[in-house]
């Protein structure tokens, strides 16, 4: 198959993890950007990227690069495209826009100009116009403008890829599935130990860890993908990807989740059962202060409340208890905690061996590693223990080099929030590298589109019925019952502190080319604490 350019969008801080996933998947020309990774591949790679990637929000297929100084330039460039390759009169479509330009100050206006150009193309060539539908369109388009550089893309994902499909119940502030998967990958956990989340909430960390441990791709739960409504959709190719479970494996350890609230535990159990991993995941009601040292070696990854959307009565006391429990009951273990506010981390009272800045939605957070051991640090190292890996040292060094960019990103994040157009994507913005902007063939190929064969095959007694009871899909890829709520509200964090603000300084790696050799071994953004 012919290869073409693709863009995988992700959250700030997960670019390297996503690049690693793409390389392992077989993508070519993998390059890092800010909140995106570009790569090349054929149609099968595009399908697999949507089906297999855990840390991508959506996959875009650019169809035209051009320069524009004003709205008329955008209209004229879009109008020249042969839209009959992508749309029919009975095809509904919508346009999402992301704009970083002094000339284009309103992203919706840009989206309207793109829509006008497409509608006028059909009026002039066929005498009629296709319909525009904001919710659940047949085809989604994305226009990205950075200064004068414009990229128009087809959105191959449809709904954001964080909407896996296994979540049938939720809590007030669930962590985003893509962020949860990225953080687990960042720890380097390979399913070779037990996994513990003592603040499990709706069970997102638990389910994502279980899927990784068995190497079950998140696409098995999806209702559909955007490319299924494209004119050249190949149903047989997607069926082949869906049926391939050759990479799945056994998991000989166990995953434990705890939460202090009984209703929350019940919600987590529903999601665990929905994902079909209840045989390797246990969820119990327990106060973290009652946590006891596990009998088997384990890693802990957790997202405790941090006063942004959920505010416990004594949040500082809670973090003091976290530090005390880790020190006394998790010796020999490795704990990873995501939270915001320096005051909270200070109350843990332990020195982190590694930390990385992560934006959990708009919330500026740290993801910190605590290596727990008995006795003195010198004795631990003498016995061969490593507090910080070489890759963790490299990443922390990279962050120090880019400290000045952190505040700039926070400011830009606030500006972006006011320009959002597509509400179903929790993080709809991506920045394509300007140096990658190049002249792009105006129209891709002249080959007649192939819709593929209608209908789908069956797998083990019914489409998508897999052992363990997960991933059930009928012959039209329908989603299991459930919903995803974005509920929750922000409370005034300052009421819980004598001193406010964020005393941290730091930065993050903003880009550069991805190198396959010497890459971050551990694979590693929307919501507040569960």
Contact 342, 316 (CB under 8 A): no
Q: Which of 298, 305, 363 is nearest to 335 (CA)?
A: 298
What residues contact 244, with CB distance under 8 A and at least 6 apart?
none
Give the model's pLDDT for residue 107: 79
How far is residue 29's CA from residue 16's CA, in Å, rounded to a whole number? 14
Positions of the chain with pLDDT lower than 70, given as ranges: 308-312, 373-530
Give the model's pLDDT for residue 363: 87
How far is residue 363's CA from residue 241's CA, in Å, rounded to a whole number? 36
DSSP string, 439-488: ---SS---PPP----SS---SSSSTT--TTS-----TT-PPPS-------
Cβ burial of 155 (10 Å; 0-12, 13-18, 19+) is buried
What is the DSSP pairing of strand 298-302 with strand 194-197? parallel
**325 SS3 class:** helix
Angle among Cα 30, 36, 40 to the nearest 5 degrees reads: 35
């Amino acid at each position: 198959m012919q290869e073409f350019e693709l863009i995988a969008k992700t959250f700030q801080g997960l670019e390297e993890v996503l690049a690693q996933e793409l390389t392992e998947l077989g993508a070519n020309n993998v390059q890092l950007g800010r909140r995106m990774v570009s790569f090349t591949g054929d149609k099968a790679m595009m399908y697999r990227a949507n089906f297999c990637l855990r840390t991508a929000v959506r996959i875009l297929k650019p169809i035209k690069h051009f320069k524009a100084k004003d709205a008329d330039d955008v209209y004229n460039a879009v109008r020249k495209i042969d839209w009959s390759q992508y749309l029919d009169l009975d095809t509904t479509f919508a346009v999402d826009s992301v704009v970083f330009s002094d000339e284009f100050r309103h992203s919706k206006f840009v989206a309207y100009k793109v829509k006008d150009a497409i509608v006028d193309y059909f009026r002039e060539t066929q005498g009629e116009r296709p319909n525009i539908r904001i919710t659940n369109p047949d085809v989604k388009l994305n226009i990205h403008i950075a200064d004068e550089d414009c990229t128009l893309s087809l959105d191959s994902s449809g709904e954001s890829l964080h909407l896996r499909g296994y979540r049938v119940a939720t809590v007030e502030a669930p962590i985003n599935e893509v962020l949860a998967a990225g953080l687990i990958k960042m720890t380097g956990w390979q399913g070779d130990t037990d996994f513990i989340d003592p603040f499990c909430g709706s069970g997102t960390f638990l389910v994502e860890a279980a899927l990784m441990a068995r190497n079950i791709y998140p696409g098995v739960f999806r209702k559909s993908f955007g490319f299924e409504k494209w004119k050249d959709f190949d149903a047989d190719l997607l069926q082949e990807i869906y049926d391939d479970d050759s990479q799945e494996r056994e998991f000989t350890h166990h995953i434990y989740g705890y939460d202090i609230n009984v209703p929350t535990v019940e919600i987590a159990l529903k999601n665990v059962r929905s994902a079909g991993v209840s045989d390797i995941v246990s969820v119990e009601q327990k106060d973290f202060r009652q946590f006891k040292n596990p009998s088997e070696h384990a890693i802990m990854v957790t997202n405790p409340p941090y006063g942004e959307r959920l505010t416990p009565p004594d949040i500082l006391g809670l973090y003091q208890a976290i530090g005390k429990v880790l020190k006394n009951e998790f010796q020999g273990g490795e704990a990873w905690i995501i939270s915001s506010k320096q005051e909270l981390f200070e109350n843990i009272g332990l020195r982190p061996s590694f930390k990385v800045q992560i934006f959990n939605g708009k919330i500026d957070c740290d993801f910190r590693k605590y290596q727990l051991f008995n006795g003195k640090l010198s004795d631990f190292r003498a016995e061969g223990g490593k507090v910080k890996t070489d890759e963790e040292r490299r990443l922390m060094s990279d962050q120090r080099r880019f400290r000045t960019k952190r505040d700039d990103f926070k400011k830009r994040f606030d500006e972006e929030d006011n320009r959002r157009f597509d509400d179903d994507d929790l993080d709809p913005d991506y920045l394509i590298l300007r140096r990658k902007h190049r002249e792009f063939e105006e129209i891709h190929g002249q080959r007649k589109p192939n819709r593929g064969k209608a209908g789908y095959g069956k797998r083990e007694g019914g489409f998508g019925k897999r052992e363990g009871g997960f991933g059930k899909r009928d012959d039209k890829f329908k989603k299991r019952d459930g919903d995803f709520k974005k509920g929750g509200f922000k409370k005034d964090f300052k009421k819980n502190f004598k001193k406010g603000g964020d005393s941290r300084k730091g930065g993050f790696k903003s880009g550069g080319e991805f190198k396959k050799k010497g890459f971050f071994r551990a694979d590693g953004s929307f919501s507040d604490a569960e």
